[in-house]
């Protein structure tokens, strides 16, 4: 009898647990569902007639091409006629391209170069408010023709970028495909608000503070557990220019960097390194990161290592041009090319010549989202890329960096129907990429 009573008492919580799970399931099924702003793609085939089509693999335009789209994928590309009763989108006066890939964005920043902008966002805006603004930035990215972005840090908004990514994937809001990093990592004392606040006034900072080898491994595990796609580290800060070199201050020790990279790779993820100068780039490359962000100065020896290891370079030259412009506006003078900008251009040209893999990324968010990040295409063409190379950096190369080349980056059968179009020939005038006339993402027309 006692044995039977014991079994009954043991089994009771289990029965209660089953009942609770059933009630939760029923409540979830009956709960109001959110309104999806993004419609589903057409169930029947849609045909797009392009006046010209840019192929990032060949770097050339093909004339009079038709693209057949079925649901969210491309079914056929070539010179053929759609069926007589087919749904046709006529872009015969436009040049079609794959949706662009932006490899370095910040949807949770709405400009941080001017005095007080950054502090106001971290100290005066709630994470909820910043998330609302982030949705408008994601919307803007898609409007500018970027159907995929890699968003490199929320700057004090925790893992809210994971939520933005998930909301886009669930068709709740318009936005590009996203890979995200959540909180970036830096060491104690290296990422204060500027100018620094009183030492005895606690203020938030834009990163997760990480110290020591074990602390580094723990931080990687914590961040990935929240659903991030990448880990981002700050490899250096500050710096001075001498002898044509930007000499920055390293943050993490090489052992700490190696621990972060090892733990991230062990978890089948990758590491992006903010590294702007000599030792920051060198340490990041030695540790085996997957991408070097900014890379304002990179030594020739480190470029050779990057080529050997397949490390990507994501330069962000437009931010430097933007800085020169607004500083001149404040001073009432004409923009002057700074020594730092000259070093950055020289680094870009040397990386291009050395065969370093280069993807397009602008650091947008550091400058406002009311201007197209595609304006940086003009800069990198001015700095030595051909228009075809620049467009490839913003399409197929970005897809390769994000390991999404089987789904995006070119207009080919089986890939997502991420298609944009512009007036004119971008191989003759790359600036036309700042005025996108048509955007389709996953078979759904966003802009027409």
pLDDT digits (tens, 9 = 90+) for 214-236: 999 999 999 999 999 999 999 99
Q: Tell me what the mean pLDDT of segment 136-161 comes to.
A: 98
Per-residue pLDDT reduced to its tens digit, 355-373: 999 999 999 999 999 999 9
Of the two residues 23 and 183, the one the predictor is more confident about is: 183
Q: Over 90: is that where the pLDDT of 37 sits? A: no
The residue with greater pLDDT, 98 or 203, is 98
432 is written with which tokens?
């036309």
For residue 46, CA distances in Å to 75, 216, 303, 420, 440 come to 10, 50, 45, 15, 12
User: Phi-psi category of 394—alpha, beta or left, where left has phi over 0 and alpha has psi -120 to 50?
Assistant: alpha
pLDDT band at 28 (very low <50, low <70, confident <90, very high): low
pLDDT band at 23 (very low <50, low <70, confident <90, very high): low
Torsion (CA) 8, 13, 15, 21 in degrees, nearest 10: 180
- pLDDT value at residue 7: 44
Mean of the pLDDT values across residues 96-114?
95
- Arithmetic mean of pLDDT, 255-259: 98
The answer to whether domain 100-373 has CATH 3.30.70.250 is no
Closest to 241 in 3D by CA, of 340, 383, 165, 148: 340
- Is the pLDDT confidence value at 339 over 80? yes
pLDDT at 5 exceeding the cut of 80: no
List the chain domain ranges: 30-99+410-448, 100-373
Determine the average pLDDT of the residues in 44-70: 97
Evaluate if residue 14 carries a pLDDT over 50: no
Question: Do the Cβ atoms of 183 and 153 come closer than 8 Å?
Answer: yes
Q: What is the pLDDT of residue 337?
A: 66
| 286-302 burial: b if 16+ Cβ within 10 Å, else e | ebbbbbbbbbbbbbeeb
Query: What's the whole-number average pLDDT of the chain?
Result: 92
Q: Which residue has the tokens 């897809």?
A: 399
Helices 300-309 and 339-354, axial angle in degrees (round to 10)? 40
Burial classification of residue 116, based on how many CB atoms lie within 10 Å of its CB (0-12 exposed, 13-18 middle, 19 or more buried): exposed
Superfamily of domain 30-99+410-448: Urease, subunit C, domain 1 (2.30.40.10)
What is the rounded average pLDDT of the residues 176-202? 91
């Amino acid at each position: 009898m006692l044995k039977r009573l014991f079994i009954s008492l043991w089994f009771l919580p289990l029965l209660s647990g089953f009942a609770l799970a059933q009630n939760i399931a029923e409540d979830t099924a009956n709960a109001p569902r959110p309104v999806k702003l993004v419609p589903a793609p057409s169930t029947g085939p849609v045909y797009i007639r392009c006046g010209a089509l840019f192929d990032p693999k060949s770097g050339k335009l093909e004339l009079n091409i038709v693209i057949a789209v079925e649901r969210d994928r491309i079914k056929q590309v070539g010179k053929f006629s759609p069926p007589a009763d087919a749904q046709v989108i006529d872009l015969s006066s436009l040049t079609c391209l794959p949706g662009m890939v932006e490899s370095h964005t910040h949807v949770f920043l709405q400009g941080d170069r001017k005095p007080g902008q950054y502090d106001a966002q971290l100290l005066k805006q709630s994470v909820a408010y910043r998330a609302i603004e982030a949705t408008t930035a994601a919307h803007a990215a898609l409007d500018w023709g970027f159907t995929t972005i890699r968003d490199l840090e929320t700057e004090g908004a925790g893992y809210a970028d994971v939520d933005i990514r998930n909301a886009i994937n669930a068709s709740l809001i318009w936005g590009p495909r996203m890979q995200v990093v959540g909180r970036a990592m830096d060491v104690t004392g290296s990422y204060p608000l500027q100018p620094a606040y009183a030492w005895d006034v606690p203020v938030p900072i834009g990163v997760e503070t990480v110290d020591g080898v074990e602390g580094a491994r723990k931080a990687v595990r914590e961040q990935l557990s929240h659903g991030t796609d990448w880990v981002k580290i700050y490899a250096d800060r500050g710096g001075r220019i001498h002898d044509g070199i930007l000499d920055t201050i390293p943050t993490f020790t090489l052992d700490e960097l190696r621990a972060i990279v090892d733990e991230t790779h062990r978890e089948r993820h990758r590491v992006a390194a903010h590294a702007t100068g000599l030792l920051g780039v060198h340490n990041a490359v030695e540790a085996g990161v997957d991408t070097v962000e900014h890379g304002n100065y990179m030594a020739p020896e480190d470029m050779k290592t990057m080529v050997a290891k397949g490390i990507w370079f994501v330069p962000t030259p437009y931010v430097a041009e933007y800085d020169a412009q607004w500083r001149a506006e404040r001073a009432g003078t004409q923009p002057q090319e700074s020594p730092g900008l000259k070093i950055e251009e020289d680094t870009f040209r040397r990386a291009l010549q050395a065969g370093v893999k280069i993807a397009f990324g602008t650091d947008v968010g550091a400058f406002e989202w009311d201007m197209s990040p595609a304006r940086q295409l003009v800069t990198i063409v001015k700095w030595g890329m051909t228009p075809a190379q620049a467009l490839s950096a913003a399409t197929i190369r970005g897809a390769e960096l994000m390991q999404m080349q089987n789904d995006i980056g070119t207009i080919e059968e089986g890939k997502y129907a991420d298609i944009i179009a512009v007036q004119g020939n971008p191989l003759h005038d790359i600036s036309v990429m700042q005025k996108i006339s048509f955007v389709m993402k996953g078979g759904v027309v966003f802009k027409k």
